[in-house]
Structure 1
Amino acid sequence: MVGSGGERVAWVTGASRGVGRGIALALGRAGWVVYVTARSSAAGRTGHLPGTVEQTAREVSAAGGRGVAVVCDHGDDTAVAAVAERIDAECGRLDLLVNNVWGGYERLNAGAWAEWNAPLWEQPVELFDAMFAAGVRAHYVALRLCAPLLIATSGSLVVTVSFAVPEAEQAPYCAAYAMAKSADDRLALAAAVQLRAHGVASLALHPGLVRTEGVMQFAEHLDLVDSQSMEGVGRAVVALADDPDLMTLSGSVVSVERLADRYGIDVMS
């Protein structure tokens, strides 16, 4: 069994690049077994950005953990169920589910900066559909399928990667994006209420501006002075999973900045 040596087991969705990759690598440095899922693989990448599940898994193993690459389209419920079943069969436990996979960035990553910042009536409806189908729904399905395994694992945790969209700063944000992230926050709360009796914590994590491969394409438009690194976000997740008072945070929305202060960690470098 992959996790038979006493290692804790994590599943990080959407981990071929970006925040998911950073979280997977930080978990690897902490000695975790990390299942890495996404569509991009050695057989073919989605879009032009670098990164594959195999590459991330190798980096997790090189960092000191054990990376397990699984090509998975999170829009395919059968494929997602197969990953959950594999983790159960190979490890018999799941200590951490990181719901990170996200749809809706495809057009932006292809260069559609002006479209992303346009008012909703000038944006294609497919932006809304992608973020709710390959984002919010994907998170819901993964959690639903993993819940029995999380419940069976003492002290387990679900982290739903979301984002803060303050009302006072709504103008710069895509309306569909703001709606989807608010839905993710609500999912984390609803799950926390239902899982608390089983000793499973659930929360929404709000990174700041993170220097992902996609973000750095548009560096000229952004103020990166206080930006976070991908692995910096991962260090926050590792510290969170180690928190003996984790249940006191369950049901809340926590920022990476707040966790950096709480645990005294660097999330910038």
Structure 2
Amino acid sequence: MTNHPPYNEAPTGNVALVTGASRGVGRGIALSLLASGFHVYGSGRTIDQADLPQEIRRLRCDHLNDAETAGVFDVIRSETSGLDLLVNCAWGGYEKMVEDGTFTWAVPFWEQPAHRWTGMMDAGVRAAFMCSARAARMMIPRRRGVIVNISFWAAQRHLGNTIYGIAKAATDKMTSDMAVELKPFGIPVFSLYPGLVRTESVLAAAKSGVFDLSTSESPEFIGRVVNALFHDPNVMARTGQVLVAAAVAREFGVVDVDGSSPPALTPADI
């Protein structure tokens, strides 16, 4: 883990940790939370090279390594009065989608390379579980905090990769069961579904006509939704639920960075 200088004094505002903040959705959420006044910690394997403002505290971490994950929370514990928000974005499921010139991400499950299970289940679901467990230990004594797990519609329909569906369904079930156990302490947990997000990889694919970006979302949009949920005085009423970011945004009047209101996609739209 990178040894950045600590804050000169403990942050007095809300403290957030965004895992997988080096790029994509995680980076966008980190930027939005910073703009909303959070003291943001961002973790990831390549966080040192990420295009992030210096106000975001970078903690290099491979969340496949439990000791490194523990180190992230040790730093937050030593530098702050507590953790208020955890957003689990760490995810290795989109790596090595093309191997030896072949697009293997969508091959049948019996032909899937073993590393894809590691990338989705271990670097995704397991990492979220381990981070949530450590976050809960910090949140429970204060009876304060929110945990958000980034998931997707693959939990509810087949989207070209069986392991992908397993991982997202597991994330949603994990959210539901964690919510039951954390409810007595007033700590809500959600699964949050983005739409088509203009991440670096999506923008690259769009150049070849793979994606229609007309209804897409910026990476920062879902972070704006997370902020709205965090500040909702009735937030506990939603604990354990699967939430579609664009639908929540319309409810709270949240718009994207360009002022647009992305549509709330359904399984039929994916």
TM-score in terms of structure 1 length: 0.87
Alignment match, 1:196: 183
Q: Tell me the secondary structure at the aligned position of residue 158 of structure 1.
A: strand
Alignment match, 2:261: none
RMSD: 2.0
* Contact in 1 for aligned 2:155/2:168 (Cα 8 Å): no
Compared with structure 1, are the counterparts of its residues 186 and 140 closer, same or farther at alpha carbon in structure 2 (3 Å cutoff)?
A: same
After superposing the two structures, state which structure 1 stretch, 105-114 or 22-31, moved more.
Answer: 105-114
Alignment match, 2:252: 263
Q: In 2, Cα distance between the equivalents of 1:15 and 1:135?
A: 13
Using the TM superposition, give the Cα deviation of residue 164 of structure 1 relative to its aligned residue in structure 2, in angstroms.
1.1
Counting only pairs closer than 5 Å after superposition, residues 25-174 of structure 1 correspond to structure 2 as 25-42=31-48, 52=50, 55-58=51-54, 61=55, 67-108=56-97, 114-165=103-154, 167=156, 169-170=157-158, 172-174=159-161
Q: In 1, Cα distance between the equivalents of 2:84 and 2:219?
A: 21
Matched AA of 1:75: L
Compared with structure 1, are the counterparts of its residues 5 and 88 closer, same or farther at alpha carbon in structure 2 (3 Å cutoff)?
A: closer
Compared with structure 1, are the counterparts of its residues 153 and 25 closer, same or farther at alpha carbon in structure 2 (3 Å cutoff)?
A: farther
Q: In 1, Cα distance between the equivalents of 2:168 and 2:46?
A: 23
* Contact in 2 for aligned 1:10/1:94 (Cα 8 Å): yes
Alignment match, 1:46: none
Could you list the per-position Cα deviations for residues 48-76 of structure 1 after superposition, in whole angstroms to 9, with x for gaps in the alignment? xxx52xx3242xx3xxxxx1111111011
Alignment match, 2:268: none
Q: In 1, Cα distance between the equivalents of 2:256 and 2:120?
A: 26
* Contact in 2 for aligned 1:36/1:57 (Cα 8 Å): no
Q: Does 1:21 align with 2:27?
A: yes
Using the TM superposition, give the Cα deviation of residue 217 of structure 1 relative to its aligned residue in structure 2, in angstroms.
2.1
Compared with structure 1, are the counterparts of its residues 87 and 182 closer, same or farther at alpha carbon in structure 2 (3 Å cutoff)?
A: same
Using the TM superposition, give the Cα deviation of residue 268 of structure 1 relative to its aligned residue in structure 2, in angstroms.
6.8
Q: Tell me the secondary structure at the aligned position of residue 148 of structure 1.
A: helix
Alignment match, 2:3: none
Q: In 2, Cα distance between the equivalents of 1:8 and 1:175?
A: 38
* Matching residue within 11, 14, 24 for 1:8: 14
Using the TM superposition, give the Cα deviation of residue 5 of structure 1 relative to its aligned residue in structure 2, in angstroms.
4.7
Using the TM superposition, give the Cα deviation of residue 179 of structure 1 relative to its aligned residue in structure 2, in angstroms.
0.6
Q: In 2, Cα distance between the equivalents of 1:230 and 1:109?
A: 24
Q: Tell me the secondary structure at the aligned position of residue 105 of structure 1.
A: coil
Q: In 1, Cα distance between the equivalents of 2:155 and 2:162?
A: 12
* Matching residue within 181, 195, 198 for 1:211: 198
Q: Tell me the secondary structure at the aligned position of residue 13 of structure 2.
A: coil
Compared with structure 1, are the counterparts of its residues 131 and 249 closer, same or farther at alpha carbon in structure 2 (3 Å cutoff)?
A: same
Structure 2 stretches lacking a partner, 5+ long: 1-5, 259-270
Using the TM superposition, give the Cα deviation of residue 116 of structure 1 relative to its aligned residue in structure 2, in angstroms.
1.6
Structure 1 stretches lacking a partner, 5+ long: 43-50, 62-66
Could you list the per-position Cα deviations for residues 170-190 of structure 1 after superposition, in whole angstroms to 9, with x for gaps in the alignment? 2x4211011101101111111
Using the TM superposition, give the Cα deviation of residue 118 of structure 1 relative to its aligned residue in structure 2, in angstroms.
2.4
Compared with structure 1, are the counterparts of its residues 102 and 5 closer, same or farther at alpha carbon in structure 2 (3 Å cutoff)?
A: closer
Matched AA of 1:79: E
Q: In 1, Cα distance between the equivalents of 2:255 and 2:97?
A: 29
Could you list the per-position Cα deviations for residues 116-146 of structure 1 after superposition, in whole angstroms to 9, with x for gaps in the alignment? 2222233213212321111100001111112
TM-score in terms of structure 2 length: 0.86
